[in-house]
Structure 1
Amino acid sequence: MSTFNTGWYLIYTMPRHERKVVSQLKEYDVECFFPTCKSVRQWNDRKKTIELPLFPSYVFVKLSSIEEFYYGQQVSGATGYVRFGKQFARMEEHQIAQIQMVAQHGEDVRVSKETFSTGQKLVITKGPLSGLSCEVVHVDQMKKILVRVDLLQRNILIRFKPEYLSVMHDVATARTF
């Protein structure tokens, strides 16, 4: 790596070590993003809401120096940075911001590896995700918003209220996923 490019990179972790990796990176003031979603689990005697990783075994890190890059490789629980050939996978700032919004404000969020055909392009007009463009697809006989995360080859599906959507007229003003 001759010249370092500041930005968001993706660390692959050992199974169920994401929180450990994040806490170690934060000790060294490395900015991290570990999206989670809430899930209700039922046992024989009770129900409990737990937080599960939105992308298991992945942690997003914003690196600003080569030292932070090398430290991220040596953190206990991290297996290395995601690569495509010789290039390290990077995500744009706006993509991270949109995943953060969806993880924080989305209802009934889940991640899918399924391949979906292109859905109707709409714009969210109300609520915390207003102004974002999206696709609407049918999943399990329900309409859901689809957010594509091409880097991870995953789709985020979100339940929505139909009154929050309108047909996309001006592509330039809508923020895209």
Structure 2
Amino acid sequence: MVRESSFKWYPVCTNPRAEKKAYSALLEKGIEAYLPLNRRLKQWSDRKKWVEEPLLKSYLFVRIDDSARAEVLMTKGIARFIYFSGKITAMPDRQIEELKLLMASSLELEVTEKNLQPGERIKIKAGPLKGITGEIIAYRSQRQLLLRLEHLGCSIIINVAASLINRL
């Protein structure tokens, strides 16, 4: 019997534009997965439509134990696990929970892979993101909260009112 504590979250890289299909295939196999989707209004020449796009292009997250890695890699649309220093990267449960909290909020999200410079460490004191800590940066002349996802090498930028922030 596999103990629940041996399950960890892992970021996996998908084939280009295959995030939703890979996510569905993982769920069909009974593998716990998480695909953060961002709802956007897209405009074509003849119409506008609300669409859900992956927040992190070519990434999704799986919660598995070590014995299920091969099964994940044999899933259609999955390209590889993410490695750092020669080891498959596991993410803390707390980071996935914070990402889910961000996605549940009504805040507008923007993902960037730019190497943003860290600023003051802060903690949000009210609102849907209460308790989340991060770094403030100046970006496009606006004060915004930067949450760095260490294990993915990218950052999430959200707009937060200065009145909702405490300095640490």
- Using the size of structure 2 for normalisation, the TM-score is 0.89
Identity of aligned residues (%): 26
How big is each residue's C-alpha offset from its partner over 1:101-151, in whole Å with a ceiling of 9 and x where there is no partner? Answer: 112215110111111222122211111110111212111111111010122
Equivalent residue, structure 1, for 2:42: 41
Q: CA deviation at 1:38?
A: 2.1
CA change 1:143–1:73 in 2 (3 A) is same
Aligned ranges 1:1-177 → 2 under 5 Å: 6-64=7-65, 66=67, 68-105=68-105, 107-168=107-168
More off after superposition, 77-86 vs 27-36: 77-86
Q: Which amino acid is the alignment partner of residue 133 of structure 1? A: T
Residue 51 of structure 1: SS of its match in structure 2?
strand
Question: Does the CA contact (< 8 Å) of 1:36 and 1:54 recur in 2?
Answer: yes
Question: What SS does the corresponding residue of 1:39 show, helix, strand or coil?
Answer: strand
TM-score in terms of structure 1 length: 0.84
Distance in 1 between residues matched to 2:97 and 2:123, nearest whole Å: 17
Whole-angstrom CA distance in 2 between matches of 1:16 and 1:111: 16
What CA RMSD, in Å, does the superposition of the two structures yield over aligned residues?
1.6
The farther-off stretch of 84-93 and 18-27 is 84-93
Q: Shift of residue 65 of structure 1?
A: 5.3
Counterpart of 2:3 in structure 1 is none
SS of the residue corresponding to residue 98 of structure 1 reads helix
Which residue of the partner structure matches residue 173 of structure 1? Answer: none
Q: Is the 8 A contact 1:127 1:164 kept in 2?
A: yes
Partner of 1:171: none
Structure 2: runs of 5+ lacking an equivalent: 1-5
**Amino acid in the other structure paired with 2:61:** F
Aligned length: 163
SS in 1 for 2:76: coil
CA distance in 1, matches of 2:108, 2:137: 15
Look up the equivalent residue of 2:62 and give its one-letter code.
V
Please give the secondary structure, in 1, of the residue aligned with 2:131: coil
CA deviation map 1:60-84 (0-9, x unaligned): 0000351x32210101111122223
Letter paired with 1:28? K
